[in-house]
Amino acid sequence: MTTDGKQSTALAINGGTPIRTEPLPWELPGAHWIGDEELDLVSRVVRAQSPFRYYGADLQHMVDQLEGEWQTRLSRKHALAVNCGTQALHICLAAMGVGPGDEVLVPGYMWVSCISAVVRLGAIPRLVDIDDTFCMSVTDLEAKLNSRSKAILYVNMSGAPGHIDQIKDLAKQRGLWLLEDCCAGSRGQPCGAFGDMAIFSFQLNKNLTSGEGGLIVCDDDHLYKRAFAIHDLGFSRNAAGRLDPSDPNYQLWGVGARMSELSGAMALAQTRKLDQITAAMRTAKWRIRERLAAIPGIDLRNVLDPSGDSGPFMLMRFQTGALAQQIVEAVRAEGVRGPEGSLACLTLKDWGLHWYFNVQSLVHKRSIADSGFPWSHPDNAFHAQIDYSRGTLPVCDHYHDRGALLTVASRLSDQDIDDIASAFEKVCGVLLMP
């Protein structure tokens, strides 16, 4: 502030007074809400000395309850808790029978886990560009489908879905599996209601957290039973929770991705707070967004259904990459930053393994095996025609170069919200002046 009480227009990055000096809260949504409820449920598991979900001295059935609540939330027939989102992706694609000779369509703006799930199963990722929703483009998807296409891995990126209903129709017409990767968010029907299978992560950055954790939902009994066997040791379990290798249909190979009762207890307590957490972020985000929308020169992400936005991120684009960089640096200097290690505000160039060409193991077609599998598999020889380097997906490249991201914490005060919006107004008022 100046001595007459007016806000200084000199940018903090140029020596002016910053809008705020107090760090903003960390962006980790569910973590801010951890309290007595989590402690109570976790303590019950500890006191019962029964941390394994399938049997124990005094089983508390935390994971069973968690799955039940998610089935109800999403109106899905089955829910299966697992140890993380990365394994959930692998398990679902494995349940769908994805393997050598198959292509899985994956957007170029995603998380590295989406690609690794495909490659570890011996299939080939086919990259699809995004549109202004920052999710998979329907047009580019149609152009990329071919006789080897087996499944579409649709990612509800950065908290809001794109044209998932159209993609669902397309998958149905072409007889393809649809796997929905839900960062969170909903659109009329909740996110996770569209895909043949859908997955969630409960890692620390997610809307609810158990530190590590994930969940799969689906309606099809066979897919569920395959996923169940694969998530465990390759077999079903009987009513006593013991492995049951008797059914030849479910004598498979397991990845050991069960959820423990301790994680189940945490995730259950957080699930019961999820609507509150999401509402807090969504409200804060749209209050900030309303003010940013009035600033000429900021092009905000197209969110098709604001009521379905889960709120953790605001994505925007500027006219040039240089401007995006300058604005982010100046906004951070105004105090839009959190404690050391948090993200707060950054350019999309700094959004690492969310961009296809930053996944060097993909660009260079790396393998875990000495044999070079899956790239060396004869049924995958067609991959020689596929290039994963930068330039493959022009819209992704465009947003990567000019984009910026603001994280929205789940515990922002009115003052925090005002400061964030004021910082953008102040910075853009100077840097975007005609």
Q: Is position 51 an interface residue for ligand PLP (rule: CB under 6 A)? A: no
Query: Of 135 and 420, which has the nearer Cβ to ligand PLP?
Result: 135
Q: Residues 412-431 vs ligand PLP: string with x where CB under 6 A?
A: --------------------
CB of residue 2 to ligand PLP, shortest distance in Å: 43
CA geometry: angle 91, 93, 99, nearest 5 deg: 115
Query: Of 129 and 181, which has the nearer Cβ to ligand PLP?
Result: 181
Query: Of 300 and 353, which has the nearer Cβ to ligand PLP?
Result: 353
Q: Which stretch binds ligand PLP (CB under 6 A): 63-71, 106-114, 316-324, 370-378?
A: 106-114
Range 154-173, binding ligand PLP (CB under 6 A)? 155
CB of residue 57 to ligand PLP, shortest distance in Å: 30
CB of residue 156 to ligand PLP, shortest distance in Å: 8
Query: Of 355 and 424, which has the nearer Cβ to ligand PLP?
Result: 355
CB of residue 50 to ligand PLP, shortest distance in Å: 24
Rule CB under 6 A: choose which of 86, 263, 310, 326 binds ligand PLP.
86
Query: Of 190 and 335, which has the nearer Cβ to ligand PLP?
Result: 190
Q: Which stretch binds ligand PLP (CB under 6 A): 40-48, 78-86, 96-104, 285-293?
A: 78-86
Q: Is position 355 an interface residue for ligand PLP (rule: CB under 6 A)? A: no
Rule CB under 6 A: choose which of 67, 102, 181, 416 binds ligand PLP.
181
Rule CB under 6 A: choose which of 29, 51, 85, 312 binds ligand PLP.
85
Query: Of 86 and 278, which has the nearer Cβ to ligand PLP?
Result: 86
User: Residues 57, 48: contact at Cβ < 8 Å?
Assistant: yes
Rule CB under 6 A: choose which of 50, 60, 113, 410 binds ligand PLP.
113
Convert the chain into a string of H (helix), E (strand) and C (coil). Answer: CCCCCCCCCCCHHHCCCCCCCCCCCCCCCHHHHCCHHHHHHHHHHHHCCCCCCCCCCCCCCHHHHHHHHHHHHHCCCEEEEECCHHHHHHHHHHHCCCCCCCEEEEECECCHHHHHHHHHCCCEEEEECECCCCCECHHHHHHHCCCCEEEEEEEEHHHCCCCHHHHHHHHHHHCCEEEEEECCCEECEECCCCCCEEEEECECCCCCCCECCEEEEECCHHHHHHHHHHHCCCCEECCCCCEECCCHHHCCCCCCCECCHHHHHHHHHHHCCHHHHHHHHHHHHHHHHHHHHCCCCCEECCCCCHHHCCCCEEEEECCCHHHHHHHHHHHHHCCCCCCCCCCCEEEHHHCHHHEHHHCHHHHCCCCCCCCCCCCCCHHHHHHHHCCCCCCCCHHHHHHHHHEEEEECCCCCCHHHHHHHHHHHHHHHHHHCCC
CB of residue 253 to ligand PLP, shortest distance in Å: 20
Q: Which stretch binds ligand PLP (CB under 6 A): 58-66, 105-113, 188-196, 297-305?
A: 105-113
Residue facing ligand PLP at closest CB distance = 85
Range 202-231, binding ligand PLP (CB under 6 A)? 203, 205, 214
Q: Is position 111 an interface residue for ligand PLP (rule: CB under 6 A)? A: yes
Chain residues binding ligand PLP by CB under 6 A are: 84-86, 110-111, 113-114, 155, 181, 183, 201, 203, 205, 214
